[in-house]
Chains A and B, each alone.
Chain A
Amino acid sequence: MTSLPDRPPGAKKLGLVIDLDTCVGCQACATNCKEWNASGHSAPLPDFHPYSAGAEGVWFNRVHSYEAGEGNGGRTVHFPRSCLHCENAACVTVCPTGASYKRAEDGIVLVNAETCIGCGLCAWACPYGAREMDEDSGVMKKCTLCIDRIYNETIPEAQRQPACVITCPTRARHFGDLGDPDSAVSQLVARRGGQDLMPELGYAPVNKYLPPRERSSALTEAKPVEEAPTPMDIANPLLRWMDRVLSR
């Protein structure tokens, strides 16, 4: 059924909180996501021409880097982009077969590879580019929130987190229940002013992005100091000698 499930307010909403202040753009989350999911719930994640020009493949997580603002107030921000497991997920309602669905129990959006016809309409309906077609098997693939880790009782409890979260070296990624206002992730979002992406479209994404922290004014107002030229900056040996003599 591709109608969205009836979910009471306060229902479990599993999702990610991504800290744009601490993300260093190292691509570890994207790599570990690919590593885990290539053999996980939505396996395989095919690659095309992997060893030649034009190599490409299906990834659930892509890390962009942006410049925002100008001058001293400008920032370089690394920006991981993946499925936001929206409350009003249009990728689910547009699906003609019922293959694309949102789980009533935790809000995770998944694709049933057995019934997907590969029409691609869900990818058109997703504003965030979260879905990529597996052109080998002709079905749509997307982030599963590592459903095969977070409920996996065969791995130690501490590891029951999405692959992208557990691998992040700067702890810029957090996983939890965003439907529970007392959960650690909800508290973090409240404290740091977590943001929705494209809120004007009304998809009500569950994942939140924490904005880069304000920089102290000492940092933003400080001018970069130009290093004094050294004698070796003078290419002409005669002038270099004169510089040395005159500098005495």
Chain B
Amino acid sequence: MNPAPSIVFFTTASGAGYGLLFWLGLLRALGWGAGAPPSFGAAAVLLALALITAGLLSSLAHLGNPQRAWRALSQWRSSWLSREGVAAVLTYPPALLFLSALWFGWPGLAVVGGLLSAAGAVATVYCTAMIYASLKTVRQWRHPLVVPGYFAMAALSGAALLAALAAAWGLRGAVLVPAALAVLGGVAALALKLAYWRAVDAGLPGPTAESATSLGAIGRVRPLDPPHTQQNYLLREMGFRVARKHAARLRAVALAAGFAAPAALALLALAGAPAAPLLALGALLALLGVLVERWLMFAEATHTVMLYYR
């Protein structure tokens, strides 16, 4: 599948934003960071909303008719893409309530707004993941580890960002929890992706050229003449294979720099090393790792329509 930059950036940025919103909303409701200055909480929610909004705007760039995007909110009964849009829109009001409550110092509303924002974040990331996991046409996306992977990556990048922010604000006591969560998120992302890639490399069941053409009764099927000599939309969109040759190296980058390094940096910060620069670097690396992973998620995915072509 073609890794359209707009979608790769969208799922990375909005995933990190929802992860940040989730952890802040949940931890705040549990009493974490109650003594932090209003500017910290407000900055964290604003960063989350900025990432989410930038991602959503970027996803519009993928549309042929972005001015009609509002129509995408109508088919939530059947479409995961529509549900994602609805969940994203519905998460804004509680997030703005949460932002105001943190800024003006309304503790009760901060709990309500935080928990509702966290629920909206989970729902939106779930819908995003299900857009891919519900497609029977792409066996690598249909895999049961795809949805947990989206959650782990949002959790990792969100926790890394929250830890970096807490450290930047000099909240020494408050760094502990998100930094520990970043370690857990990094380990979870690492384990999930290793298991996922092992499963994918072992070969996933799915349709074959024989079942795609109904000619299996005769024997093995292989293409003789293509229907067209030039490119077409299908080949460009579903037949992407430019950088699969770099896949092994990119996987290593995602695992090492993207997931292992942020966890290690968070551990170092927990052990007493200067937290602010380490955690800021960790958050950047986590975002980079998710970006690479998301790119691979597309580049390594194979669509059934290619059974007709090769």
Whether A25 contacts B81 in the complex (CB less than 8 A), given A129-B308, A197-B212, A200-B207, comes out as no
From A92-100, A177-185, A226-234, A238-246, the one touching the partner chain is A92-100
Cβ 8 A contact of A124, one of B209, B212, B216, B303 = B303
Q: Are A96 and B225 in contact (CB under 8 A)?
A: no
B-contacting residues, A112-164, CB 8 Å: 115-121, 123-129, 132-135, 137-140
Cβ 8 A contact of B221, one of A68, A125, A196, A198 = A68
Q: Mark B39-69, 1 if CB is under 8 A from A, else 0.
A: 0000000000000000000000011111011
Most buried by B among A58, A99, A124, A212: A124
Q: Are B212 and A55 in contact (CB under 8 A)?
A: no
Interface size on A, residues (CB 8 A): 70
Q: Are A121 and B215 in contact (CB under 8 A)?
A: no
Q: Are B138 and A132 in contact (CB under 8 A)?
A: no
Most buried by B among A25, A70, A98: A98
Whether A25 contacts B225 in the complex (CB less than 8 A), given A68-B219, A98-B71, A133-B64, comes out as yes
Q: Does A104 contact B (CB under 8 A)?
A: no
Q: Are A65 and B72 in contact (CB under 8 A)?
A: no
Interface size on B, residues (CB 8 A): 58
Pick 13 A–B contacts, CB within 8 A, sort by A. A65-B224, A66-B221, A74-B218, A76-B224, A81-B227, A94-B81, A94-B134, A95-B78, A95-B79, A96-B73, A127-B212, A198-B207, A198-B212
Q: Are A201 and B207 in contact (CB under 8 A)?
A: yes
Q: Are B63 and A211 in contact (CB under 8 A)?
A: no
Q: Are B74 and A97 in contact (CB under 8 A)?
A: yes
Known: A68-B220, A90-B137, A129-B234. 12 other contacts (CB 8 A): A55-B230, A63-B227, A66-B215, A66-B224, A76-B224, A81-B227, A90-B136, A94-B78, A95-B75, A124-B137, A126-B137, A201-B137
| A-B pairs with lowest CB-CB distance, top 8 | A118-B64, A138-B64, A69-B219, A129-B305, A195-B214, A62-B227, A96-B82, A65-B225
Q: Are B63 and A119 in contact (CB under 8 A)?
A: yes
Residues on A lying within 8 angstroms of B by beta carbon are 1-3, 20, 25, 30, 54-59, 62-70, 73-77, 79, 81, 90, 92-99, 115-121, 123-129, 132-135, 137-140, 195-202, 209, 211-212
Q: Are B134 and A127 in contact (CB under 8 A)?
A: no
A-contacting residues, B201-215, CB 8 Å: 207, 209, 211-215
Residues on B with beta carbons closer than 8 Å to the beta carbon of A139: 64-65
- Cβ of A211 to closest chain B Cβ, rounded Å: 6
A88, B157: Cα distance in complex, Å: 38
Q: Are B219 and A70 in contact (CB under 8 A)?
A: yes
Q: Are A132 and B234 in contact (CB under 8 A)?
A: yes
A58, B227: Cα distance in complex, Å: 13
- B303 (CB) vs chain A CBs: closest residue: A124
A54, B232: Cα distance in complex, Å: 9
- B205 (CB) vs chain A CBs: closest residue: A200
- Cβ of A120 to closest chain B Cβ, rounded Å: 7
Residues on A with beta carbons closer than 8 Å to the beta carbon of B68: 97, 115-117
A140, B238: Cα distance in complex, Å: 15
- Cβ of A109 to closest chain B Cβ, rounded Å: 14
- Cβ of A3 to closest chain B Cβ, rounded Å: 5
Residues on B with beta carbons closer than 8 Å to the beta carbon of A202: 136
Whether A123 contacts B228 in the complex (CB less than 8 A), given A2-B75, A69-B220, A209-B214, comes out as no
Residues on B with beta carbons closer than 8 Å to the beta carbon of A25: 225
- B217 (CB) vs chain A CBs: closest residue: A211
Residues on B with beta carbons closer than 8 Å to the beta carbon of A81: 227, 308
Residues on B with beta carbons closer than 8 Å to the beta carbon of A134: 64
